[in-house]
Homo-oligomer: A and B are copies of this chain.
Amino acid sequence: MINVGIVGGTGYTGVELLRILAQHPKAKLKVITSRQEAGTGVDDLFSSLRGQITLKFSDPLKVDFGKCDVVFFATPNGIAMQQVSALLGSGIKVIDLSADFRIKDVAEWEEWYGMSHTAPELVAEAVYGLPEVNREKIRNARLIANPGCYPTAVQLGFIPLIEAGAVDENHLIADTKSGVSGAGRKAEIHTLYAEASDNFKSYAVAGHRHLPEIRQGLSERSGKPIDLTFVPHLTPMIRGIHATLYARLTRDVDLQALYESRYANEPFVDVLPAGSHPETRSVRGSNFCRIAVHRPRNGDTAVILSVTDNLVKGAAGQAVQNMNIMYGLPEKMGIQHIPLLP
């Protein structure tokens, strides 16, 4: 059994980690921390977990992770970077679901995240936890930078085209739509039900923190710098990301064959039949990314549709997928939930 700790388990990625780990055959949840909820039973805060988890939240200042093999950080940005070094020093592996170790260029990270990085020496070591790209590196990693929700859906959508060198890499467009849980479990006005329901809007068109992460990932695939226009939208649904991706083709390519081939052996990427329109509910509560490819009226614009559950493949599920890889377990173990439809 792998002994697991969670730092910051009261947000949506936290409760999703709990849902998944509570039934993972090889994981044993040992400790979970929360500043605000220390002493509260996990199932008092989340009644969905009654009968599943008997742990109480621990005070993060008093907690001992000594019995843990791996610790997940489901914390706001800027927390993990302060604590990871000590854990690694104790031989404990870390999977960070925040953004602290995702961007290799520390100066760029500091600019986008508006704070100084306190562990720049670990940034280079951290492995970006997108198994479809970095599976081998993940296997031996001590520190995983778990990808952001938008970057997962967008990269999985663009990667085959980028790797094939078949598109104009300076004019990619990612028009993305996220459910409201992507904003986290924070008391804020703009994500209130009465604000976000029956409403649709874009945000952060001038620049979103996931943009440098996507650029970095796609540039690595390309071998040269890529650029893209990234427009996120807030959608009146709880979970789900729908990325509608546009790329100008620079040569003729069989999109369907290209995508099916690239993801033939990927357990969690599902290329739909030609002509399909994936819907977010088809992955609700599951670790799948479903992708469909189109080339309207046979023109030079490819349209790629990529859907994920932002809390699973876009966060907690992918984190457990990384854990499975790190510990040599079957990659699908404990994350084979069938999507909840309707």
Residue A180 contacts which of B194, B276, B337 (CB distance < 8 angstroms)?
B194
Verify A202–B280 contact, CB threshold 8 A: no
* Contact yes or no, B341 A201, CB < 8 A: no
Q: Does A235 contact B (CB under 8 A)?
A: yes
List of B residues within 8 angstroms of A311 by Cβ: 342
A188 at the interface (CB under 8 A from B): yes
Chain B nearest CB from A61 CB (Å) reads 23
| Chain B residues with CB under 8 A of A19 | 338, 340-341
CA distance A197 to B198 in the complex (A): 9
A337 to B199, CA, bound (A): 18
Closest-by-CB residue of B relative to A272 is B47
B12 and A202: CB pair below 8 A? no
Output the nearest chain B residue to A274 by Cβ-Cβ distance.
B206
A297 within 8 A of B: yes
Q: Is A322 an interface residue (CB 8 A)?
A: no
Give Cα A52–Cα B248 distance, bound, in whole angstroms. Answer: 35
**Which B residues touch A201, using CB under 8 A?**
242, 277-280, 307
Within the oligomer, what is the number of copies of this chain? 4
Taken together as a complex, chains A and B put the C-alpha atoms of A113 and B235 apart, in Å, by 31
B341 and A15: CB pair below 8 A? yes
Check if B47 sits within 8 Å of A279, measured CB to CB: yes
In the assembly, what is the distance between CA of A198 and CA of B193, in Å? 11
Q: Is the CB of B202 within 8 A of A305?
A: yes
Chain B residues with CB under 8 Å of A186's CB are: 189
Q: Are B193 and A180 in contact (CB under 8 A)?
A: yes
In the bound complex, do residue A189 and residue B185 qualify as a contact, i.e. CB atoms below 8 Å apart? yes
Min Cβ gap A129→B in Å is: 23
Contacts of A270 in B (CB 8 A): 50-51
Q: Report the separation of the CA atoms of residues A60 and B95 in the bound assembly, to the nearest whole angstrom.
A: 50
Do the beta carbons of A301 and B229 come within 8 Å of each other?
Answer: yes
